[in-house]
Structures are given as C-alpha cells and as structure tokens.
Amino acid sequence: MIRFDRRMLAHFDWWLLIMFLLICAMSLFNLYSASYPPKPWGTPPYLKQLYFYLIGFSAILVILAVDYQELHFWNYFFYIFVVGLLAAILIIGKTAGGAQRWISLGFFNLQPSELAKLMLVITLASYYSRKEVTDGYTIRQLVVPIGLTLVPFVLILLQPDLGTALMLGFIFVSMTVFVKLRFSVYAILGSTGVAMVLLAWEKLLKPYQKQRIQTFLNPEGDPMGSGYQIMQSKIAVGSGGRFGKGYLEGTQGHLHFLPERHTDFAFAVWSEEWGFFGSLFFISIYFLMLIWGLYSSAFARDRFGMLLSFGIVMLIFWQAVINLLMILGFLPVVGIPLPLVSYGGSSLLTTLLAFGILLNVRMRRFQVGQNGD
Amino acid sequence: MEKKLFIDDLEEITEHDEEALNMLKRRAMVAMGVILLFLMIIISRFWYLQINLGEHYRGMAENNRVRIRTVPPPRGHIFDKYGREIVTNRPSFNVALIREDSFDIQDVLKRLSVVLDEDIEVLWERIRKGSGAPRHFPITLKEDVDWQTLAYLENNKYKFSGIRIEVQPVRVYHYGDLGANIIGYISSINPQELEADKDGVYEGGDLIGKRGLERIREKDLRGEKGSSSTEVNASGFEQQQLKQVDPLPGRDLTLTIDVELQRAAEQYLAISDKAGAVVAMEVDSGRVLAAVSAPTIHLEDFIGGISRKNWNALLENPRNPLLNKAVQGVYPPGSTYKIVTALAGLSEGVITEHTTFYCPGHYYFGRRLYRCWKHSGHGTVDIRRAITESCDVFFYQVGQRLGVDRLAAYAKKLGLGARSGIELEHEKAGIVPTKDWKRKRFKEKWHEGETLSVAIGQGFNNMTPLQICLMTAAIANGGKIYQPQIVEMVKTTDGDIVEQFRPKLLSELSSQEKRYLPILKDGLFGVVHGKRGTARNVRIKGLTVAGKTGTAQVVRLAQYKGLKEQDIPYKYRDHAWFTCYAPADNPKIAVTVLVEHGLHGGSGAGPIARVILKKYFEKYLLEQARKEAEEGKDDKA
C-alpha cells in the first residue's frame, strides 16, 4: 500500500507548500490579535489553533504516504461515518432540546458539517472519475451524485446550518459543471435551483435567516441589529486605510465592536491592522495558492486526481469568496469561515486534510498504472 | 445488451482518456479565470473601502470608540474696585446616574432615595426627563449634596452601580444680594438661546448669564470648555483615558463699584423700606462707584433655576424688584432740572447773574396761575438764591424767556434724554420734550404754559437717576460728560489684563457755557450750606457738599390737596430727588438719589446721599493722609 518513489519527492510542490505555510503563519499571527487581550482563563484561541495545526500537519504527513487512489476505497467508510455523525447530532440535538452543530470530544467540539464538505468532494470526485461520459452527463446519470449530495445537505439544513448546506451545493455545482453536462441538464438544474430558492424563502428559512438577508439588503436601516455586524465589519476594514492601524492596534476588534472577531470576521481584524496593502498581500498569496492548486489539478495524472484537486480548490475558494464578500459587506452574514484564517478546529482540520490530498495528487502526477491495484 | 449508462470498460476509458483529460484541463483553466475575476472584485472592494472611504470609516471607528465629555470651565469671578470678591465659585457635588453603567437602576434608585432623602418618584422623574439623551450621558439626580452623603456614596460605591459624583462650579455671592441688578444671575440655557448660539459654544444644560453683567459679559466670564476623551468598548465600558483638555477658566471682572458704598446705600434703603435708586460716580472719570436699585432681587433664588412661585412674586411686587431703577427707571427730574434751566438761561443771555425776579409765591402766565412750592413767596431772588432756595417763580420766567426748544438743547448738552451707553441692560433714554417731540408724539401743538412746567422739571420730562448723576458730575468737573462705566478691568486667571478702564469723554460744554458754571456751583453750595438751603440735613462736618433737591410730582389730584403728606396713599406720593457732588471746591464724587414716593428731596433722599458721602470721605481722607505721609518721606529723602 505504501510505496515510496523518489520521483515523488522531486515532484513535490514546494512552492505550493511555501505559500500554504506562509498563509498558515500569517493566520496564526492574526489570530493572536483577533483574540487579544487574552482572557485570564482557558487556553487562548491562537494556542488551540496552533495545536490543531500540529495535529493537521501530522495528518498531512500520513496522507502523503498513501496514494490518493486509496480514497476510492476509504471514502465509503468516510461517507458513512460523516453521515452517521450528522444524523447522530440531529438526534442528540432533539433529545437535548435544542439545535446543536457539534459533538463534544472532550478536548474539542467536532463539527461534522465541516468534514462533510471534504467528504462530498472526495465522493463526487470518486464517482465522476469512475462513471465517465464523453459528451456530458444526462439527468439520469446525475441521479446518484445528486442523491449522495442531498443526504448530507438535508441533514445539515436541518441542524439548521444554511451556510454550510449551501457550501455543499456550491461544491456539487462546481464539480458537476466541471465534468460537463448535457445542455438540457443546465436548463433543468437551473430552473430547479430557482424553484428551490423560492420555495426555501417561503417555507424553509427561519425568521432569523430571513432577517439576515433582509438586513443585508438594507444594512443601515437597523444599525444595532443584524446590520450592525456588517456595518462594524465595513468600519473595521475601511478604517484600516492604506497601511492599517498596526499590529494589535486595531480598535474595532479589540473593543469588541467587531462581532465574531476571531472566527468569521478574523480577516476584518487583519484588514484593520494592516490596511489595504496588507490585505492585498494576504489575499494575493491566498488566491495565488488556489490558482496554483488548479494548475496541479490540470496536470494531475488521472481523472480522479484532477477532480479531487479541483474539488478541493473549489472547496477552499468558495468559502474564501463568501467569507470575504461578507466581510466587505457584499453578502449577508452566513457563518462561513475563511479557511485557515478563522478560528475553528473542525474547519482547520478539514482544510489541512484537503490540502494534504492536494499535495498528494500533485506529487504523484507521474505515477501511472495504479488503477487496477 | 442494454445501453450502458456509463463507460466502465477499461479499454474504452483509455481510448477516451486523453481527450477527456484535455477537456478537464481546459475547464480548469477557465476556473483559474473565474478565481482571478473574483480576486479582482475583492481587491477592488478593498481599494474602495480602505482607500476611497478610508477617512470616512476611520472617523466612524473613532466615533465608535471615543466618548467625549465636556468639562465645564470655572466661570470668571467678579471683584469690586478694591479687589474684594463679590461673586466667585464653589464646587457643587452632584449625584448623577449613567444608565448604561448601572446593573439595576430600580435597586440603585431605591437605595439612593434613602441616602439622598429624596422621594423615589422625584428621582424617576429626573431620569424620565433625561431619557432622551444617549445612555452613556449622566443624568443629574440631585445637586449640591453635602459631605456626609458624599462620603457615604464614595465608601459604598459597589452598591450604587452607574452612580457618579460630578463636580460643577456654582456661584457664591459673598455679599448676598449686593448689586444684584448689576451683576445679574446665571441659569440653564433655554432653547431660544441655544438656537441663537451660532458658534456652537453651548449645549443643553449649560449655564448662561441671564441678566446684568453675567449676561453682558458672558463671553468674558464663561471661559472655554475642556473635554475628556475616554476609550469605550462595544458595551460602553470605559477602557482608558485618551486625552484630557483642561477647561480655560473664564476671565475675572473687576468692577468700578465700591462694595462699601454700594452696601451702605442698599442697607439704608432696605432698612427704611424704601424703593428707589442711588448712583454714585467719580466726577472726573465716569467710574460708577455705586448703582443701587431697591428693592432688590435675591440671587440665591436663581441658583439652579428660580421657582415659579418666587418668579411670580417678583412680577407681582408693586415695587418692581426686576427693574434696575438706576438706569431703567424714568422719573420727572423735579427741581434738579433747574440746573439745566439755569445754565440755559445764563448761556443764552436771557438772564445774567444779577438778574432778579420777584417771587410772591405764584406766577401768572396768561390767565393761569403757576404756584411756587413756597406759597408765601421768596421775595426778590437772583439766580444763586433761586437755585439755593429752589424758587419756582424765578425759573418759570427763565423758562418762558428761553422757550422749550432752547431749554431742551441744554438738557441734551448735559447728557439728558439720551442713553449714556453704560454697560447695563435696557438703559432708558428718558424724555427731553421739545415742540417737535410733542407734535410727533401726541400730534399736538406745544403750549407755552407747558414750557413753565418743564423749566422746573415737571411735565413731560423723564430722566433716569443715572442721567441726573451724569449731569451733576458734569457741573462738578467743569462741563465734561464722561461715559459712565462699570467695568474697571478684565483679567485672565493668569493675570493678563485684557481690558482696562479708560475714561471716555462723550461731550463737553463750550468754553462760553463753562464760564457760568461757578454761578451754578455757588447756588448748589447754598443748597446744603446756605441758611435757607433745601438740603441742610446733608451737611457733613469737615466736608463741603453742593447739591440740589427735587420733588417729582406723581399726580396732581385735587382730592389730596390740603391733606397731610403722610395721609396721601403711598403710590400717589411725590418722588424725592437729591443730587450732589463733593467736596464743593474740588469735586471728586457725584451722588444721585431717587426715592420713589419719598416726598421731599431734602428729607427723603438727602440722608442716603449723606451716608454714601460719609463712607467715601472716610476713605478719601485716609488716602489723603497716606499720600501726604509718603510725600513727606520723599521730601526728607
């Protein structure tokens, strides 16, 4: 199972790793400020995050040792494990008399919905690579992937966690469009999507979710309510100006005007303290890393590798875009973290695992003929 | 074999592999484009927020975190001529509530109502009134709390969350109501005043001068507000002091008023329960040494706002304490006006110092009988005797020869009928009647008989006590009308003099007119020192005084004729005037007294002038003695 090839080291993507580590370092550095001043009790968030980084890096080493082809096999268990956790949460949540998104593991709270994102990427990549068509998938051929997506999607929606559920939708759409559909399928999927959005607005959305969307459309109308968060985020970013207020000098974050400053709005803290040029630097490297990842995808040795790395890039990309657009006041508050930057063990571990897979695909691009093993 | 849903044959896959992978490769490139597009969108949004709107958001962030509170400046002090404190400040400790910082307002108020000995409803009412302001604004619950209560609150801070002790300077009046009508009072700014404040100096709740010098000199006295900036977090809790700008204390006012003279006159009027006005002035500078109006307002009533009851009492008081009678009260000048008639007569050549008229106690003009106050008559009188004995018949004839317009011209030359421009509010100009004036005012022709009344200071004549004093000073100093002034000096707390008294000459008699002044002075000297003078009771041993009495008719009613003076109802009794200067040969001070319904100038008004003169000269003599002693030293050296 574990096969070492010296070519793997030669094809290891050092540049990608350097960019990745740079982002990780800046994120940790920022997290210290985003949770500053430290509370007198408990482990400070940046330290906890550091532990997860260490756990994640160890996991990456393990992943690199194993050919990603193994994922075809392991994913069955992974899928069942995650869906099982999601279902368990719903049941525990019901008996505990309230919504719950995580399972307590003692030292940290596991959020299965985060794992579900990666799980879906692997599942779809595995499926689309094994079931290949030449001139676009038909609706009938999409029944299985749609079903595989819908199961975690609905379970997460029921938590309720609209943001993460929509993330699964984004992953599904990106990967499905990537593998090419029949023209008629676009039309059908498109109209179904619109119908679902309308239906969701009428029936499914909770009042607080509607409120968030409504205040997003008119944030100044309610400065102390939900629009407050968006306003404060824009103030934090905007007040950073060209060069920022300096590290640990941000007032919006440290005086608690900024909500969720070390999780969803962590990047607003960076923007406030480092200004436009700091943000430009960070975001450019972040997106360059994603483009680099897509480049690996384009030159993966097989269809599975391509789909895997594409899906992983999309997984990070969509979360980053949605989070940044929210911080910048373009989107309502949806509770999507900025991968690597936002505090949160589950999200970080998922991202690190995903990254390990990306590196894995990249370094095995010249190994061929493993398919039948 | 049914049609396969997918290509799952390995052979076929290899066949399609290359083509399919190329397709995905192209699609990956498109995805890169999509990522780049979003990168551009996001970066341009950062550019817009941070560079285009950076300043705007920086301001908003500052507003978020910085709470600015103004620190009231201590108001300037007011001193008398000799540096004695008339008005200063003391700290008043107020108990205030910051709603945002209070965990349980209900509970805190309950405790407070016991500690402050105040009904809890009163406290709630204060909070309701202040509830329009932001929650971090302190609402004052009780002013001027005593030390004991203060100490208790400080020691039990933890029981009173959100309660703050605020220090506010309040006025202290060291001489009680001394000069109340000159000094005035301060009170909370009202909406109209806020509206008028174009410079944005004031905010609601500020104290502002409402009356007297407190109002006129508001700009000097108020000082500049300081500010204290504190950083607060999102919950409004204060984090740290950022900046403290100390307030700039108001400038101190030194008045020309001499507290002793002012107080002597005020006390005399108060004790004898008289309404009236007293003005004392330095003859050769225009410094006002005393400006009294009785009855007075009570300044303490105005601290923290006057109650409706007290205010109504002031409005309804028939003696009108709100009127500063020294400059706002107008009265017929009575016989004091004979000074004008005398000067006019001599200057216009209608009489000489030797002209005599015979006074049988009355004078017929046409068919009308004009009486002299002395019904038995003065016999043959010249100008000097006419002034000394205040012979009406003499001045009827002088007035008749002059005509009203020529008379009015001299009245104006002596400062009557016009505002002097003293720094006191609502000064009245008074009335110096002329033919034109009557035509405009009543659309009537002037009757020659009216000129006779005017010549002895009755009729349409109306003057303020200040104007009569100004006239007296002009006679005393040889014909100069000085602007009466009340502010000696304006000083910053650092001691820099911003403004210093300088005598201001308003006008001067011609040298021709000045030549006749000694004749008038002889007559005025006789009033006090002559055998038949009308104010012999004013004499002070060792001091020469020259003056003129006057009686201003309030009404002339037949029904009161023959009644004893004391039996005439108070409000119909004549006003009493006395105006004088001293020493007669080298005048220093002019004093004018008006006692409303005081009957006779000599008896009603004279004693008050005498009190002031005595006080003044005690001090004057001491001063002289010291000067002589010093000169003596210099000579020896």
pLDDT digits (tens, 9 = 90+) for B410-452: 999 998 988 988 988 899 998 999 898 899 988 888 888 889 8
Interface of B with A in 96-135 (CB under 8 A): none
Below-70 pLDDT ranges, chain A? 1-5, 40, 93-100, 106, 204, 212-227, 367-373
Exposure b/e, B167-203, CB count within 10 A at least 16 = b? ebbbbebebebbbbbbbbbbbebeeeeeeeeeeeebe
Whether B233 has its CB under 8 Å from any CB of chain A: the answer is yes
Q: Give the nearest partner residue to A298 out of B25, B39, B65, using CB atoms.
A: B25
Total residue length of chain A: 373
Task: Give the domain ranges of chain B.
Answer: 67-255, 259-297+318-626
The DSSP annotation for A193-224 comes to: HHHHHHHIIIII--HHHHHHHHHHHSGGG-TT
B214 vs B367: which has the higher pLDDT = B214
Contact by Cβ (8 Å): B606, B591: no
Contact by Cβ (8 Å): A132, B16: yes
Structure tokens at A115: 């794992």
Average pLDDT on B558-563 reads: 61
Exposure b/e, B39-59, CB count within 10 A at least 16 = b? beebbebbbebbbebbeebbe
Q: Which CATH architecture has domain B259-297+318-626?
A: 3-Layer(aba) Sandwich (3.40)
Phi, psi of A265 (to 5 degrees): -105, 20
Does the pLDDT value for residue B355 go beyond 80? Answer: yes
Inter-axis angle of helices B10-46 and A266-298, nearest 10: 150
By C-alpha distance, which of B199, B579, B563, B520 is closest to B384? B520
Give dist(CA B387, CA B521) in Å, integer.
9
Residues of A in contact with B14 (CB under 8 A): none
- Per-residue pLDDT tens over the stretch B97-112: 887 777 778 888 888 8
Number of helical H runs and strand E runs in chain B: 22, 23
Whether B6 has its CB under 8 Å from any CB of chain A: the answer is yes
The DSSP annotation for B482-534 comes to: EPPB-EEEEE-TT--EEEE----EEEE--HHHHTTHHHHHHHHHHHHHSTT-T
Structure tokens at A147: 């079903």
At B636 the pLDDT is 59
pTM: 0.64
Does the pLDDT value for residue B547 go beyond 80? Answer: yes
Percent of chain B with pLDDT over 70: 93
Q: Which of B9, B29, B38, B46 to mutate to test the interface with A (most CBs of A within 10 A)?
A: B46
- Per-residue pLDDT tens over the stretch B33-78: 999 999 999 999 999 999 999 888 888 888 777 777 778 888 999 9
Side chain identity at B206, as an amino acid letter? D
pLDDT band at residue B17, thresholds of 50, 70 and 90?
low
Residues of A in contact with B64 (CB under 8 A): 232, 235, 251-252, 255, 257
Whether B603 sits among the annotated catalytic residues: the reply is no
B80 vs B603: which has the higher pLDDT = B80
Displacement of CA B630 from its chain's centroid (Å) = 39
B138 vs B185: which has the higher pLDDT = B185
Give dist(CA A21, CA A357) in Å, integer.
16
Antiparallel, parallel or unpaired: β B78-79 and B138-142: unpaired
- Catalytic residue from among B293, B335, B390, B453: B335
Contact by Cβ (8 Å): A118, A315: yes
Q: What is the CATH number of domain B67-255?
A: 3.90.1310.10
Longest dimension (CA), chain A: 62
Residue B186, CB half-sphere, CA atoms under 13 Å: how many? 25
- Identify the H or E element spanning A239: helix A226-239
Contact by Cβ (8 Å): A208, A241: no
CB contact under 8 A, A287 and B35: yes
At B8 the pLDDT is 53
Residues of A in contact with B51 (CB under 8 A): 241-242, 276
**CA of A85 vs chain B CAs: smallest distance (Å):** 32
Q: What is the DSSP letter of B463?
A: B
CB-based burial of residue B614 (10 Å sphere; 0-12 exposed, 13-18 middle, 19+ buried)? middle
The DSSP annotation for A49-75 comes to: HHHHHHHHHHHHHHHHHS-GGGHHHHH
Interface of A with B in 249-268 (CB under 8 A): 251-252, 255-257
Does the pLDDT value for residue B565 go beyond 70? Answer: no
Average pLDDT on B455-468 reads: 90
Antiparallel, parallel or unpaired: β B288-294 and B276-282: antiparallel
At A199 the pLDDT is 83
Domain B67-255 identical in fold to domain B259-297+318-626:
no
At A224 the pLDDT is 47
CB contact under 8 A, A239 and B58: yes
At A262 the pLDDT is 83
By C-alpha distance, which of B435, B506, B436, B438 is closest to B467? B506
Give dist(CA B297, CA B277) in Å, integer.
14
Residues of A in contact with B60 (CB under 8 A): 235, 238-239
Cα-based angle B50, B54, B58 (whole degrees, multiple of 5): 125
**CA of B28 vs chain A CAs: smallest distance (Å):** 6
Interface of A with B in 127-146 (CB under 8 A): 130-134, 140-141
By C-alpha distance, which of B131, B532, B17, B485 is closest to A301? B17
- pLDDT averaged over chain B? 85
Interface of A with B in 233-252 (CB under 8 A): 234-242, 251-252
At A27 the pLDDT is 94
Structure tokens at B322: 């709100």
Beta-carbon contacts of B260 under 8 Å, excluding residues fewer than 6 positions away, are B615, B619
User: Scanning every residue of chain A, which has its alpha carbon at the shortest distance from the alpha carbon of B7?
Assistant: A132
Does the pLDDT value for residue B610 go beyond 80? Answer: yes
Beta-carbon contacts of B103 under 8 Å, excluding residues fewer than 6 positions away, are B161, B162
Residues B197/B199/B205/B206 CA torsion (nearest 10 deg): -100
Does the pLDDT value for residue B559 go beyond 70? Answer: no
Task: Tell me the three state secondary structure of residue B255.
Answer: strand
Contact by Cβ (8 Å): B288, B213: no
Structure tokens at A284: 């450019």
**CA of B130 vs chain A CAs: smallest distance (Å):** 21
At B566 the pLDDT is 67
At B556 the pLDDT is 65
- Per-residue pLDDT tens over the stretch B224-246: 888 887 777 766 666 777 778 88
Side chain identity at A316, as an amino acid letter? I
CB contact under 8 A, B64 and A290: no
First to last CA, chain B: 146
CB-based burial of residue A285 (10 Å sphere; 0-12 exposed, 13-18 middle, 19+ buried)? middle
User: Scanning every residue of chain B, which has its alpha carbon at the shortest distance from the alpha carbon of A179?
Assistant: B24
At B2 the pLDDT is 46
Q: Give the nearest partner residue to B57 out of A180, A238, A371, using CB atoms.
A: A238
Does the pLDDT value for residue B369 go beyond 90? Answer: no
Number of other CB atoms surrounding residue A190 within 10 Å? 10
